[in-house]
Amino acid sequence: MLVMFDMDGTLIDTQSLICEHMATAFRGADLPAPTPEEVRRIIGLSLPVAIERLAGSQDDSLINRLVEDYKEHYRASLVGGSDREGLFPGARTSLDALRAEPDYVLGIATGKGLAGVSRILELHSLGDHFTTLQTPDHNPSKPHPGMLLRAMDETGAATSETVMVGDTVFDIELGRAAGVATIGVTWGYHDPADLVAAGADAMIDHFSDLAPVIRRLMD
């Protein structure tokens, strides 16, 4: 069985970082800083798509500048501040338990770039937990199904053996587009009611609920 996880808002709490550096990048381009609520709505998309939506512009030069400025500010903030990318409560215990299941394969499907994913997995000593890492470096942005289709191809998992776990509407739409089961989490960045409306097959309030829900959906 293949269990795919979103990262920001599902496994790690990076909301304050993302909001802070998005605002800094926009102000640096003499644009109004997006509000935290506006930023939360685009978390989960690949960075260029997210910034294009926030800016309300398709000016490639502007989007590219904002993307690079955001990355620069984000990287700089992590020097001596790695505690700002902490795991949500219960995430480590749940991941350890799922990894110990012989029939389970774990993966990541995220809007974060591969370098950032690799850094965070190393930070939390989770590199060995995940067999497949799907990012915008080699896939279209969510909710296009490419990330899940590639993950299933890499691991040999069928759609009936795959579940997507995430905190945003984009995660649920991604799973539905790929034809797999979806589990929404209530501790992330989108309103849980929106995940239900998007078609989540199940919702969980705590990581301790995850394994039983996966088993129920996959039976």
Which residues are identified as catalytic?
A: 6, 8
Ramachandran sector of residue 146 (left: φ over 0; alpha: ψ -120 to 50; beta: rest): alpha
4, 162 contact by CB (below 8 A): yes
Cβ-proximal residues to 116 (8 Å cutoff; 6+ apart), any chain: none
Through-space distance between the first and last CA atoms of the chain, rounded to whole angstroms: 11
168, 43 contact by CB (below 8 A): yes
Q: How many Cβ atoms sit within 10 Å of the Cβ of residue 90?
A: 14
Count CA within 13 A, CB hemisphere, residue 15.
18
Q: Alpha-carbon distance 180 to 52, whole Å?
A: 28
